[in-house]
Amino acid sequence: MKYWLVKSEPDVWSWDDQCKAKNQTTHWDGVRNAQASNNLKAMSKGDRCLFYHSNKERAVVGIVEVVKEFYPDPGDESGRFGMVDVKAVEPLKNPVTLKQIKAEPAFEQLALVRQPRLSVMPVDAKSFKQIIRMSG
DNA sequence: GCCAACGTTGGC
DNA sequence: GCCAACGTTGGC
């Protein structure tokens, strides 16, 4: 199993919205960046993703699971980009903030820290587990 | 194919 | 709300 982190602006699509969706499942669409799109393509069914709120909150708030692998996004006129389907698994007991992550030297290599503008990124298993541990 | 101009993202 | 970083676009 691989691990990832996906970003969303909570004003646009929040963890709460994800949980209220039918079957807690939705399309992770709207990604219009080549690198992020490549990461979406590399996802496999069953992979877990940290759900991160950008902007005001800046914290990992929950975990989602990939339930459908990459397929074309009909909303993309260029035909270059696609999406995956994700399902809410569970919320973090306590959100893990960007501040906490940046304060931890073990996360220096994390794409979240190194590439602040990337919206879909891989997370190694160790870091994934550590973030879960930090959430309580 | 290069690069300047421009737009967008996201942390602060 | 500002601005730095960076991706994309379009003229040449």
Domain ranges of chain A: 3-134
Q: Is the pLDDT of residue A80 over 90?
A: no
Return the pLDDT at A56. Answer: 87
Nucleotide closest to A80 measured between CA and C1': C8
Return the pLDDT at A13. Answer: 94
Listed as ranges, the nucleotides of chain B within 7 A of a protein C-beta are 8-12
Chain A 19-38, CB < 7 Å to strand B? 32
| The CATH number of the domain covering residues in A3-134 | 3.10.590.10
For residue A38, give every residue at least 6 positions away whose Cβ sits within 8 Å of its Cβ, in sequence order, or none: none
Return the pLDDT at A79. Answer: 82
Residue A54 CB lies within 7 Å of the nucleic strand C: no
Return the pLDDT at A105. Answer: 92
Considering only CA atoms, which residue is closest to the C1' of nucleotide B8? A117
Question: Mind listing the pLDDT tens digit for each residue in A96-131?
Answer: 999 999 999 999 999 999 998 999 999 999 999 999
Return the pLDDT at A120. Answer: 95
Tokens encoding A132: 């879960």
Question: Mind listing the pLDDT tens digit for each residue in A31-77?
Answer: 999 899 999 999 999 999 999 999 989 999 999 999 999 999 888 87
Q: Hey, is A13 helix, strand or coil?
A: coil
Nucleotide closest to A35 measured between CA and C1': C7
Residue A79 CB lies within 7 Å of the nucleic strand C: no
Return the pLDDT at A50. Answer: 97
Give me the helices (H) in A31-103, please.
Answer: 34-41, 98-103
